[in-house]
Amino acid sequence: MAFVPAATGLRLRVPTAGSFTTVPRCRSLPIPAPAAAAVGRRARHASPVMIASEPAAAAEAGTAAASPAKPATKPASPNFSSGPCKKHPGYDLATSLGDAPLGRSHRSAEGMAKITESLDRTRTLLGIPDDYRIAIVPGSDTGAIEMAMWSMLGPVPVDVCYWESFGKGWLDDIVKQLKLDVPVRSITADYGQLPDLASTSGEHDIVFTWNGTTSGVKVVDGADWIDDARTGLTFCDATSAVFAMEMPWDKLDVTTYSWQKVLGGEAAHGMLILSPRAVARLESFTPARPLPKVFRMTKGGKLDEKLFQGAVINTVSMLCVEDYLDALLWVDFSGGLEAVIARSRANLGALEAFVERNEWAHFLATDPAVRSNTSVCLVLDMDKDKVKAMVKLLAAEGVAYDIGSYRDAPPGLRIWCGATVDTDDVVALAEWIEWANATLA
């Protein structure tokens, strides 16, 4: 891994013989070479790989007696989980988090400076309009979308569009928990398909997921089906899309994501982005239901502006904030939003090449226009036991962790292809999947 000093003036504390010295903070280069810590982790995983390649272990994993030769190269990182997702290339605990103001109040000048820097960098990198509000909220993406739904849904009918588990979860919460007095329509499609989004109404609130993480189906770029002259609000759970897909901010009134997805950050904190129209809803509509403190965004009928200036509702982890800042610096250093989107698309491209050359592998999303470039879901022409064995074998080989499809989704593989994953690793993984297919009984 290579590091270069950042030009940001940020400082990093590093341990030197029992004390700490302050040095310029370093930014990690987006070079696929593994960090020292990652090498250490791989070394710790080395033994199961060797054991699994022994004949007895191979038999136990269901491999055929005469296995084809293993591919020469393993992915430098076996982390293909769809959340928490892989850390960015070059991530190193000490270097990345060394500047965290641990043991300091998040409301101190230093703590607030970190939080506001993360909000400012988020706005700049994502191109969020100046009149949109951004806040860090409790409860990860779930917390962010729930607080928005509980605070704002109710005055007009709601269209809930869903095509996989998380979107279905939001529908269930709206119907079974919120129990709105207004009509709620569900607009839905099976795993692998996108529903008829054009059947939504601009006079209704629309709740949808930009990228269905468990089906690998995303909204078509641009979201033209959202009416520019709408009177309802759009609520978009974009957790596995932000920093990997273009977000048309003019179409989005409430947008949520968490740090643990595309940026490979830490879980537990959510991001909530509100358009001026969403703010107007908050200030004009007071739900009759009780709202817990962690959901409240207004004071005396007005938006609590301080919440969107870094004065978070409750205590944040300064370690996680530092980790998020480090990820934002990595995006910046990698060339910004366009560059990280391109990295993610290149990863999908590697799997498209894999599907192209293997007639037994297919995308769950058959239409390329709606195919996710983050949570890429594959179905394989084999029974689910063989898929399970494949997932187990690849993990045992130290090649890929956590790539089994989501529990409610059709059996198959789900391979995270967000920007923090290196394309070379996806290419290498594809060869191992071919090997596993040929090897397993």
Ligand X SMILES: Cc1ncc(COP(=O)(O)O)c(C=O)c1O
Residue closer to ligand X by CB (options 137, 391) is 137
* CA quadruple 395, 399, 404, 406: dihedral sign: positive
Q: What share of the chain is helix, strand, coil (3-state, %, to 5)?
A: 40, 20, 45
Among 151, 213, 234, 334, binds ligand X (CB under 6 A): 213
The footprint of ligand X on residues 152-191 (CB under 6 A) is 166
The footprint of ligand X on residues 122-141 (CB under 6 A) is 140-141
For strands 133-138 and 269-274, give the pairing.
antiparallel
Q: How many CB atoms lie within 10 A of CB 179?
A: 9
- Residue with the CB atom nearest ligand X in the bound state: 213
Shortest Cβ 162–ligand X spacing (Å): 10
The footprint of ligand X on residues 354-373 (CB under 6 A) is none
**Site for ligand X contains 253 (CB under 6 A):** no
Among 122, 151, 239, 334, binds ligand X (CB under 6 A): 239
The footprint of ligand X on residues 76-95 (CB under 6 A) is 83
Contacts of 178 (CB under 8 A, 6+ apart): 149, 150, 153, 154, 289
The amino acid at 139: G
Shortest Cβ 83–ligand X spacing (Å): 4
Among 92, 117, 237, 326, binds ligand X (CB under 6 A): 237
Size of the site for ligand X (CB under 6 A): 13
Residue closer to ligand X by CB (options 151, 239) is 239
**Please, what is the Cα angle at 336 between 335 and 341, to 5 degrees?**
100
Contacts of 407 (CB under 8 A, 6+ apart): none
Shortest Cβ 209–ligand X spacing (Å): 5
Residue closer to ligand X by CB (options 218, 343) is 218
Shortest Cβ 168–ligand X spacing (Å): 10
Structure tokens at 73: 């190269």
Phi, psi (rounded to 5 degrees) for 195: -75, 180
**Site for ligand X contains 374 (CB under 6 A):** no
Residue closer to ligand X by CB (options 240, 439) is 240
Among 215, 258, 275, 405, binds ligand X (CB under 6 A): 258
**Site for ligand X contains 240 (CB under 6 A):** yes
Nearest to 20 by CA among 101, 112, 117: 101
Nearest to 265 by CA among 124, 86, 122: 86
Q: What is the DSSP letter of 440?
A: B
**Please, what is the Cα angle at 192 between 223 and 345, to 5 degrees?**
60
Binding site for ligand X (CB under 6 A): 83, 140-142, 166, 209, 213, 237, 239-240, 258, 260, 267
